């Protein structure tokens, strides 16, 4: 009975975590280039299996047929392409295909797919949050704000028709090592490779979150959470009756 309470409580915790992830996805459904997080869980060892690994003499045969519930793992980042949206700004660009822009954030190298660029007062090409955009050699890109700017499909940046820089666009060799660092940035400690993405000027990439799908997942998770809560109440009532009846017999 107590083991059943534990399994139901585990079900509540895993569904609460799933809802946190889904809620964050919904909150970022309008965030440029946001990639949805996918909650990941794995089946836990059964009580009997876990006890066998710890000490065989404590194995309880009656637990052999019981499941071990679920355990939460780090979330997976869904890198699927987001929809494209037109822009009137020549410094707004979107990546079509796998790849990231390299930027410098407080002295730390970061990756992003958010291509809403601007030229700051010092002439540096930056993100909306002030992070400096880097070229192929890892240097900050400096432009003349007085000149017209054009960004080509290969990432070349031209001013008044002359190429002055090229966007540093790379791909993560091992996407599993990507971690969100906030503000649409990614930390990545792995090896980078040349990206095959095309650069589309006058466009931005929208979030790849589908609100309708996420809401459906949220409702399903809520129903599962409520079912586990009901199971806890049922088991608690049964346990209380058992204790009372045993007390009467004694």
pLDDT digits (tens, 9 = 90+) for 98-112: 999 999 999 999 999
pLDDT digits (tens, 9 = 90+) for 24-66: 999 999 999 999 999 998 776 665 555 555 554 445 555 555 5
Buried b (16+ CB within 10 A) or exposed e, 195-225: bebebbbebbbbbbbeeeebeebbeebeebb
Q: Which residues contact residue 120 at a Cβ distance below 8 angstroms, ignoring those fewer than 6 apart?
A: 126, 130
Beta-ladder partners of 165: 157
Alpha-carbon distance 62 to 161, whole Å?
A: 78
Angle at 108 between CA 107 and CA 109, to 5 degrees: 125
Percent with pLDDT over 90 in the chain: 66
Q: Count CB neighbours of 167 within 10 A.
A: 25
- Check: CB of residue 151 under 8 Å from CB of residue 120: no
Alpha-carbon distance 183 to 106, whole Å?
A: 13
What pLDDT does residue 66 have? 56
Q: Which residues contact residue 245 at a Cβ distance below 8 angstroms, ignoring those fewer than 6 apart?
A: none
What DSSP string describes 95-152? EESS-EEEEEETTEEEEE---B-EE-TTSBEE-TTSPEEBBTTSPBPB--TTS-EEE-
Section 127-143 average pLDDT: 97
pLDDT digits (tens, 9 = 90+) for 56-71: 444 555 555 555 567 6
pLDDT over 70 at 125, yes or no = yes
pLDDT digits (tens, 9 = 90+) for 231-242: 777 776 777 777
Confidence of residue 84 (pLDDT cuts 50, 70, 90): very high
Q: Count CB neighbours of 42 within 10 A.
A: 9
Closest by alpha carbon to 155, among 142, 168, 145?
168
Asked whether the whole model's pTM tops 0.85, one would answer no
pLDDT: is 210 or 59 the higher one? 210
Percent with pLDDT over 70 in the chain: 83
pLDDT over 70 at 1, yes or no = no
Collapsing DSSP to helix, strand or coil, 182 comes out as: strand
What pLDDT does residue 58 have? 47
């Amino acid at each position: 009975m107590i083991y059943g309470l534990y399994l139901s409580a585990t079900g509540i915790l895993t569904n609460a975590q799933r809802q946190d992830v889904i809620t964050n996805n919904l909150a970022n459904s309008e965030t440029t280039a946001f990639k949805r997080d996918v909650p990941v869980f794995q089946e836990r060892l059964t009580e009997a299996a876990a006890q066998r690994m710890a000490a065989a003499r404590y194995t309880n045969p009656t637990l052999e047929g019981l499941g071990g519930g679920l355990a939460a793992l780090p979330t997976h980042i869904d890198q699927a392409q987001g929809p494209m949206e037109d822009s009137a700004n020549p410094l707004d660009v979107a990546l079509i295909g796998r790849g990231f822009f390299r930027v410098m954030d407080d002295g730390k190298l970061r990756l992003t797919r958010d291509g809403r660029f601007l030229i700051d007062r010092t002439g540096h090409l930056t993100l909306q949050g002030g992070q400096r955009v880097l070229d192929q050699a890892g240097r900050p890109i400096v432009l003349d704000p007085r000149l017209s700017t054009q960004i080509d499909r290969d990432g070349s940046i031209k001013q008044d028709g002359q190429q002055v820089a090229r966007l540093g666009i790379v791909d993560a060799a091992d996407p599993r090592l990507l971690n969100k660092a906030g503000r649409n940035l990614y930390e990545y400690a792995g090896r980078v490779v040349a990206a095959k993405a095309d650069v589309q000027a006058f466009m931005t990439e929208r979030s790849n979150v589908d609100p309708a799908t996420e809401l459906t997942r949220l409702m399903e998770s809520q129903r599962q959470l409520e079912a586990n809560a009901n199971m806890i109440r049922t088991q608690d009532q049964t346990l209380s009756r058992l204790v009372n009846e045993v007390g009467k017999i004694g």
